[in-house]
Amino acid sequence: MRTAAGLLVALLSGAASAYPTMIRHGYTQCATCHVDPSGGTLLTEYGRAQSELLLSTRWGSASEEEPGPSSRFLFGAVRTPDSTILGGWLRNGYIWNSVGGKLVDQRLLQMRADLAAAFRAGPLRAAAEVGYATASSAAYSELASITRNANGANLVSREHWIGLGLADDAVLLRAGRIQLPFGLRNIEHTSFVRTATRTDINQDQQDGVALSFVGAGWRAEAMAIVGNYSLHPDAFRERGASAFVEIAPSSQVAFGLSALATRADATLENAGPTLRQCYGVTARAAPWTPLVISAEVDALIGTALGRGATSAGHAGWLQADLEVARGLHVLSAVESQKAPGESATSTGLWGGLAWFVVPHLDVRGDVIRRSTPGSPATATFLLQLNGYL
Amino acid sequence: MNTRNLLTTLFLLACVAQEAAALVRMGAGNVEVHARGPAGLRITGKSTEVSLVEDSSVLLFKAAIAPLDTGIGLRNRHLREALEADRFPEATLSVKRADLRFPGDGTSVEGETQGELTLHGQSHPVAVRYRAERKDDLTHIAGSLRLDLRDFAVVTPSYLGVAVSPEVEVDLDLAVEGL
């Protein structure tokens, strides 16, 4: 039952915009469309244009037509200077959870309400987000909290960093709270691969220093992790390093390697110091423009330091994204997970529809069924409405 | 046949011979244009409208500009505008036969030579790497070259702060009978 409850709260929060499936349009890298060179979060002006041209239903607009001013911040009502990028997310949803075929929970979700800004001047780069998270979304936002209201709403900041862009923005050195460079930066932030590796883009960012490189056909980022300073007490903060490299032999195929190793003085499961290691391989491919296959397999290793007790596990994800009409996607995925120290392997099946109705607005419906030997199966139905300012 | 008729006949025969010498070879082929932008951006434009015109001294490869497809309609339009496809509808690469090695049946050759590229109404010499393979009267030609758009008076495309590099690579692939 505890597992089932964990699965329920795991779906209580929204995600940042991150679409590794843009590889179908030849975008193997992320930095031309996103402020973060490894993807997700704020869109650049070029990214906003691609959002209208490539993601959204075009409603009769010719494919060669310029995107309208409505794709810009606040539908073009406010013109920002070239040095500044503004954006924001408002995501709400409704969730139904069942355990063993019985509906046990249904509720309206406030998933994300964030404002974000990025600034550049010469080589200087900076970006920050601030948002509002209700108590009901705490389970998947509290690690990004910047206020301490134990049973109520909190302000959150999922990322805030300052850095230097070098070599025509092929290199970015930055410090602050940053998304961990590991695995697929997929929007399904509750997938096993994201939760098991603690790289959920909704709240698992860490404070540290990161160096990213983007070249023609490859990208890489490495980060020295100094801990999540939204987390208290200090003993629970993980310190170490995370890195990934992805190579794209063609504009429709990319392969990646990821590694993460962190040490914490204590964890919820282990009162003593613990070393956590994750090693992953990823692949993205668009064998046919409407179809993108994404996969990630991670090895998970946990070590109770001082006692020499090491246990291993794994997490896997295989997703197919079929764009049946411009802006309309049929999604399906299979996943599995065996946490270190546990004997049972959990499996999950995802099915869903996502529709990018117009620039700034998408709707998505998912059905997720998860099962673990010895526990009743859980099923989740989730409807989401996502607005991007 | 009087002298006047004889001269007319010879003139017509000469014209026919001249036409036959400029043999147009239409085979299966494609051309790919590879451009790069900031932060690892790669753009590839593809077209299958490639042909080869051959005479006794020169091989002339032709590629139409308008059909180049970069995968995004608006980007195709920007490409056509940058290359002024309405005014200059095709790019040509002229290579002297004497500068090339031709494979015998069942063999292949490769090398590097100099050609003349005409793009956007401007002509400049370019280095061309090539490989040719002949099998059963079918010659498969693969060639590649690099060019700088600025040499051809092309304004480097830039869109919403993302400008492509003026250095561009072109790959050409063509299979023709004979040669």
pLDDT of residue B38: 85
**Neighboring chain A residues of B162 at a CB cutoff of 8 Å:** 32, 46
pLDDT tens per residue across span B125-177 = 999 999 999 988 889 999 999 999 999 999 988 898 888 999 999 999 999 88
Query: Where would I find the H helices in chain B?
Result: 3-21, 73-82
Note the pLDDT of residue B90: 96
Q: What is the rounded (10 degree) CA torsion for A143, A109, A367, A354?
A: -90
Res A68: pLDDT: 83
Determine, for residues B41 and A32 on separate chains, whether the beta-carbon distance falls below 8 Å: yes
Q: What is the pLDDT of residue B7?
A: 52
> What b/e sequence results for A98-128 when a residue is b if at least 16 CB atoms lie within 10 Å of its CB, and e otherwise?
bbeeeeebeeebbbbbbebbbbbeeeebbbb
Is A46 in contact with B38 (Cβ distance < 8 A)? no
Does 2.40.160.10 match the CATH number of domain A2-388? yes
Structure-derived torsion over alpha carbons of residues A261, A267, A269, A273, reported in degrees to the nearest 10: 70
Using CA atoms, how far residue A276 sits from A134, A183, A190, in Å, is 30, 16, 19
Chain B residue with minimum CA distance to A249? B42
B159 interaction partners in chain A (CB closer than 8 Å): 46, 49
Sign of CA dihedral A365, A158, A172, A229: negative
Tell whether B146 is within 8 A of chain A (Cβ). Answer: no
B41 touches chain A (CB under 8 A): yes
Structure tokens at A107: 């509720």
A66 closest CB neighbour out of B36, B42, B74 = B74
Distance between terminal CA atoms of chain A?
A: 39
**Cα A359 off chain centre by:** 20
Residue A218 or residue B54, greater confidence = A218
Q: Is the pLDDT higher at A75 or at B117?
A: B117
pLDDT of amino acid B18: 45
Taking CA atoms, what residue in B is nearest to A83?
B161
* Mean pLDDT of the B30-59 span: 91
Q: Taking CB atoms and an 8 Å limit, are B160 and A46 in contact across chains?
A: yes
CA-based nearest residue in chain B for residue A37: B39
Residues of chain A with pLDDT under 70: 1-18
Per DSSP, which regions of chain A are E strands? Answer: 84-99, 102-121, 124-133, 154-156, 160-166, 171-178, 206-215, 218-227, 239-250, 253-264, 274-288, 291-304, 309-325, 328-338, 346-358, 361-371, 378-388
Alpha-carbon distance of B49 to B53, in angstroms, equals 13
State the Cα–Cα distance between residues B149 and B172, nearest whole angstrom: 18
Nearest CA in chain B to A218: B40
- A250's CB contacts (< 8 A; 6+ apart) are none
Give me the percent of chain A exceeding a pLDDT of 90: 77
CATH of domain B25-177: 2.40.128.110
Residue B8 — very low, low, confident or very high, per pLDDT cuts 50/70/90?
A: low
Query: Considering the entire predicted model, what is its pTM?
Result: 0.87
Mutate to test the interface with B, among A27, A29, A32 (most CBs of B within 10 A): A32
pLDDT of residue A365: 98
